[in-house]
Amino acid sequence: MKKVTTSVLLKMKQERQKITVLTAYDASFAKLFDEAGIDAMLIGDSLGMVLQGEDSTLPVSVDDIAYHTRAVRNGTSRALVVADMPFMSYATPEQTYPNAAKLMAAGANMVKLEGGEWLLESIEGLVKRGIPVCGHLGLTPQSVNVIGGFKVQGRDQEKAQKMISEAQQLERAGIQMLVLECVPTNLAASITEAVSIPVIGIGAGNKTDGQVLVMHDMFGISANYMPKFSKNYLAQTGDIRKAVSAFIDEVQSGAFPDESHSFAD
């Protein structure tokens, strides 16, 4: 299968082909996902919760992400590899550049940052320095203490309009992909139409350009709890490879997520 690049993902959006993304943290699962046809893999700071047993993503370090990025890269031959930049690793442009470079050197094709307009300078600087960027709006887990918990974002009109505006600002700054987490389906649809880059949803309905799930949630083995927006594909199929194939098929057909895995206005 053709190697996935940012250009391939952009073409998929333009042709209305759904993009499939899973988190991955080691070479074995990366190889399995890659061979199944997953378009992109995210080394998420979710590893703090699903691998390390923490109650948030905040304790994860750049070294943690770099270690797992290198492992995922070693198991991947075609999918795009995206690495999360962890909490406070990109608070200023001066911090951002060397930390992003470390993740790219470990094997990432792109780095992901959480936040809106305050990131514009750093994003522009990264892109000028040859580092592709994925944005992240909506529920931003690294800001959980400010948000006041893991809550749906953008339900009131003012905040929804701000999120649309920030998505457009991030695109102008140079991001090549955007993750929307825990936002109402209609808002996610509006943002997807408002930008020309691929928009990947998690708890954002099925009107985005693609979907991402945490692999531990998809297999029903998360240590803490199963989010509303996740689905246990392993219970549905009884086999890991069949579970991944079912996820891909349901995302591509638009069957997942359905209303039971989404949020209304």
Binding region for 3-methyl-2-oxobutanoate: 45-46, 84, 112
CA distances, 101 to each of 83, 105, 131, 200, 225 (Å): 11, 6, 8, 24, 34
CA distance 42 to 196: 21
- Give the CA angle between residues 183, 188, 190 to the nearest 5°: 140
CA distance 224 to 170: 32
Do the strands 40-43 and 19-23 form a parallel or antiparallel pair, or are they unpaired?
Answer: parallel
Q: Is 42 helix (H, G, I), strand (E, B) or coil?
A: strand
Active site residue 15: no
The position carrying tokens 């514009």 is 120
Q: Which residues are annotated as a binding site?
A: 45-46, 84, 112, 114
| Helix residue ranges per DSSP H, 20-61 | 27-36, 47-50
Find the catalytic residue in 94, 181, 250, 259.
181
For the packed helices 27-36 and 240-253, what is the interaxial angle rounded to 10 degrees? 50
**Residue 186: count of CB within 10 angstroms of its CB:** 15
CA distance 78 to 248: 16
Q: Is the dihedral of CA 232, 236, 238, 240 positive or negative?
A: negative
Q: Is the dihedral of CA 143, 146, 152, 155 positive or negative?
A: negative
Residues labelled catalytic = 181
